[in-house]
Structure 1
Amino acid sequence: MKKYCFLLFAIVWSVFAVSCEKDDPGLNPEVIKASGNIQAAIDEYKALLGADNGGDPGTKGLTGYREINWDGLSDAESAPNAYAPDLFNSPTAPRARGIVINTPGTSLMVSADNSNPTGTLPGFGNINPTYTAIFPPFSGERLFSPVGSNIADIRFYVPGSTTKAVVRGFGAVYVDVDRLENAAFEYFDINNKSLGVYGTPALNEGHVFLGVIFDKAIVHRVRVEYGNSALGPNESNTVDVSVMDNFIFGEPQEAQ
């Protein structure tokens, strides 16, 4: 009898544990995505997060978002020069956004604009001249990409510090996603547990948006996949290169 009671308890406990995980509000994300005219989707995503908290150091409460559009970077901080991974985690405004970006590739880069003094081609034309025609910027002229890899890892910190933080969500504008399977975000919590992989829409030589928001601040890292190839080769039936424009993410909260 004791054996059967123990078995029944184990089954009931297993069902209860699964139910708790399923009902965890931090694991019930809302996904916002669009292609082509994406402004309405971006506005919806921002509204879910709250107000624009700008670029001041420190956490600005439990709601709101921070945004990066790359267009405030100087020529010296843009192509052909590498992007500093912690540029937008400066201890001072307006670049205290709480985001650090790394790549397994050789570097990160923000594209040049049309008026740069070195004559560097915009739209990552310094890497491949054909890219100027396939990467239309969404806001301003500058775009963002890893170099030497199609992967970037984003981590969040209390803005202006090295204190690890979590956010409710992360969204971004992709440029020139040709195939649905070639661009995605994978979200991770502070313990490096995956919270899921979310694919973007696709639109050749156009703009797409993907934003995921959780019920609570739970995301510490986002792995971003850009197409199926690092920048360099021409696009083809087998090569899909992609870059990004605006980043939007929830207000960083100190990780507990």
Structure 2
Amino acid sequence: MSNPKSTVITASGDITRKVEMFQAALGDPLNNDEPYQQPAGRREINWDGVPTNLTDTPHFPGDFFNSFELADPPARKRGAAFFTDEGGTFEVSGDDFAHVDPSYSQEFHAFSKRKTFTVSDGNTLEVRFQAVGAPTPALVKGFGVVFSDVDKEGSARIELFGNDGLELGTLTAPRRADKQGLSFVGVVFDTPIITSARITSGEAALGPGVKDVSSGGTKDLVVMDDFIYGETRAME
């Protein structure tokens, strides 16, 4: 990141301490159960609360974590919606995608047990920040992602954008450093400035018979776990 008013935090291996540092930099409290915009704190998505009927199936809705329905629980209103360029879909897995290909049980591991996340038919997605429980575009001051099984430098990265598509920079997740295979990268700015993020998670989509580069394949396959970001601020 080139912006002098930003702090980048990265980690691989045992990432717990650095993730806690990132959470502290965004600030408390954790607002996951608050259905309206809060004056301070952060939001997190760890996928573990996704119901069974939307787990291990390539039909996870991109707006699940920012429902506009009044009847939906507060935990469904976290101010983040997901999109793909091709109109693709997403998947949350409870078995690290071993149901897609058995080899993945040895490749991927969750950080916050037990579920992980991917684009079901690609390797890129856009996160757009919105007012909590509403479609209004919003700003956050920081964003970070936990990745699983980054074998190649640069295969997992986050491109950040501000208002009017202003490019804020690119974050690259470090390569895995141990058997668990977790990596983290995130940035915190002094003020809410991020409107969206484009995430590249590996070099190819998961699929039956598609092997990771460490298992004889030709592409580095990567999945995601926790998304951590500042409280959203609605844009007027």
TM-score > 0.5, shorter chain as reference: yes
- The 3-state SS of whatever aligns with 2:102 is coil
Verify the 8 A CA contact 1:170 1:249 in the aligned structure 2. Answer: yes
**Amino acid of the structure 1 residue aligned with 2:160:** Y
Q: Which residue of 1 aligns with 2:187?
A: 212
Deviation at 1:181, TM superposition (A): 1.5
Q: Which residue of 2 aligns with 1:252?
A: 232
Q: Which residue of 2 aligns with 1:174?
A: 147
- The 3-state SS of whatever aligns with 2:134 is coil
Q: Tell me the alpha carbon deviations over residues 41-85 of structure 1, each in whole angstroms, 9 at most, x when there is no partner.
A: 011001111111223222101x31101110111110111241111
User: Which has the greater radius of gyration?
Assistant: 1
Q: Which runs of 5+ in 2 are unaligned?
A: none
**Pair 1:88 & 2:68 matched:** no
In 2, Cα distance between equivalents of 1:68 and 1:138? 12
* Count of aligned residue pairs for this structure pair: 222
Q: Which residue of 2 aligns with 1:146?
A: 119
- The 3-state SS of whatever aligns with 1:131 is helix
Structure number with the higher helix fraction is: 1
Q: Which runs of 5+ in 1 are unaligned?
A: 1-21, 114-121
**Amino acid of the structure 1 residue aligned with 2:163:** I
Verify the 8 A CA contact 1:71 1:141 in the aligned structure 2. Answer: yes
Q: How does 1:128-207 map to 2 (within 5 A)?
A: 128-203=101-176, 206-207=181-182
Computed over aligned residues only, the root mean square deviation of the Cα atoms, in angstroms, reads: 1.6
Larger CA deviation: 50-59 vs 28-37 = 50-59
Q: Which residue of 2 aligns with 1:97?
A: 78
Q: How does 1:8-157 map to 2 (within 5 A)?
A: 28-51=5-28, 52-61=30-39, 63-91=40-68, 92-105=73-86, 106-111=88-93, 113=94, 122-157=95-130
**Amino acid of the structure 1 residue aligned with 2:41:** G
**Pair 1:243 & 2:223 matched:** yes
In 1, Cα distance between equivalents of 2:101 and 2:4? 41
In 2, Cα distance between equivalents of 1:67 and 1:128? 28
Larger CA deviation: 48-57 vs 206-215 = 48-57
- The 3-state SS of whatever aligns with 1:130 is helix
Deviation at 1:126, TM superposition (A): 2.4
In 2, Cα distance between equivalents of 1:174 and 1:229? 14
Q: Tell me the alpha carbon deviations over residues 105-161 of structure 1, each in whole angstroms, 9 at most, x when there is no partner.
A: 5310001x3xxxxxxxx1112222211111011111210000211101000011100
Verify the 8 A CA contact 1:104 1:149 in the aligned structure 2. Answer: no
Q: Where do 4+ consecutive residues of structure 1 move more than 4 Å?
A: none
Deviation at 1:227, TM superposition (A): 1.1
